[in-house]
Amino acid sequence: MCAPPPGAVRKHGEITVGAGGDGIERIEARFSEKAFSPHRHDSYAIGVTLAGVQSFRYRGEQRHCLPGQCLILHPDELHDGEPGTENGFRYRIVYIDPALVQQALDGSSLPFVADPVLRTPGIGAALLADALDMEDAVDELRRVDIGTGLARMLRAASGTERSGTALLDLPALLRVREQIAADPAGRHSTAALERLSGLDRWTLARQFRAAFGTSPSRFRTMRQLDRARRLMVAGTPLAEAALEAGFADQSHLSRQFKRAYGMTPARWRAALERKAA
């Protein structure tokens, strides 16, 4: 996850990037045509449709999120996005790192919300006002407040406010996560991660997904993409950004980028630059 600088709000064409913080990224976007091809990301995506109908396919079903309704997507779940009518749609969304949710849950498995659209009138405004405030800088206290509030919301929406799931070895999992995040372009062997965590590779894989919603390998890829996005925003050519982020070449970056964000790097950068020109 590539969070904007705290306190900064940047407008780029169809997409406005709000003030963010470590593990928190806020976006407001407007689309009048196909928005995203099928993709998945390693964060929770929690948002509200502001105008129009937001239609998307999720877990084998076509879904529709109307104005004022809340959208919750679990990490690593495949989904797309398009307008449900010819008028397009506009939405505001917060991407929150599962590790931040984990800190609030104290080691329990991540909540899974089976129905991604919460239809209770006003539920988005009531539960997400702080998290979706694009202008509000995210210092450490606000970060804890947002993480705790969203974790509570996710548990309530999933029906697991009192989870009986066995606790995970969170300190060991965080060591692995931090090692990968520190050098995502490196190749971390399973043997090295076993030594670091004290867990065998199968237990590590199961617990990592339960804790953070994705596999260690995909977590590494997403951190590579974070680096590539930062380089692209700074004006680095795509081929150079791909190599610096640890991808084999530009085509490798493009494939992974579209798989993660539902659009090519060129389209993503064009959306950021459209109004800046």
What integer pLDDT is reported at residue 241 of this predicted model?
96
Q: Which two tokens stand for residue 235?
A: 């004006």
Nearest in space to 91 (alpha carbons), one of 108, 116, 111: 116
What integer pLDDT is reported at residue 131 of this predicted model?
86
What integer pLDDT is reported at residue 231 of this predicted model?
95
**At residue 186, what is the residue type?**
G
Domain with CATH 2.60.120.280 in the chain: 13-158
127 — pLDDT class (breaks 50, 70, 90): low
**At residue 173, what is the residue type?**
L
What integer pLDDT is reported at residue 175 of this predicted model?
97
> What's the distance, Cα to Cα, between the start and end of the chain in Å?
26
Higher pLDDT, 2 or 32: 32
Mean pLDDT of 254-276: 85
Q: What are φ and ψ of residue 4, in 5° steps?
A: -65, 160
Query: What's the burial of 166, exposed, middle or buried (CB within 10 Å: 0-12/13-18/19+)?
Result: exposed
pLDDT tens track for 20-71: 899 999 999 999 888 889 999 999 999 999 999 999 999 999 999 999 899 9
Mean pLDDT of 253-273: 90
Q: Is the pLDDT of residue 4 over 50?
A: no
- Mean of the per-residue pLDDT values of the chain: 87
pLDDT tens track for 160-192: 765 455 689 999 999 999 999 999 998 888 899
What integer pLDDT is reported at residue 179 of this predicted model?
96
Q: Is the pLDDT of residue 196 over 70?
A: yes
Q: Is the pLDDT of residue 199 over 70?
A: yes
Higher pLDDT, 136 or 4: 136
Q: Is the pLDDT of residue 3 over 80?
A: no
Q: Which two tokens stand for residue 185?
A: 């372009």
Domain with CATH 1.10.10.60 in the chain: 168-276
What integer pLDDT is reported at residue 247 of this predicted model?
94
Q: Architecture of domain 168-276 in CATH?
A: Orthogonal Bundle (1.10)
CA of 105: how far to CAs of 44, 169, 192, 208, 264, in Å? 14, 13, 28, 15, 35
What integer pLDDT is reported at residue 119 of this predicted model?
83
Q: Architecture of domain 13-158 in CATH?
A: Sandwich (2.60)
Q: Report the distance separating Cα 161 and Cα 260, nearest Å.
A: 30
What integer pLDDT is reported at residue 276 of this predicted model?
56
Mean pLDDT of 138-145: 83
142 — pLDDT class (breaks 50, 70, 90): confident
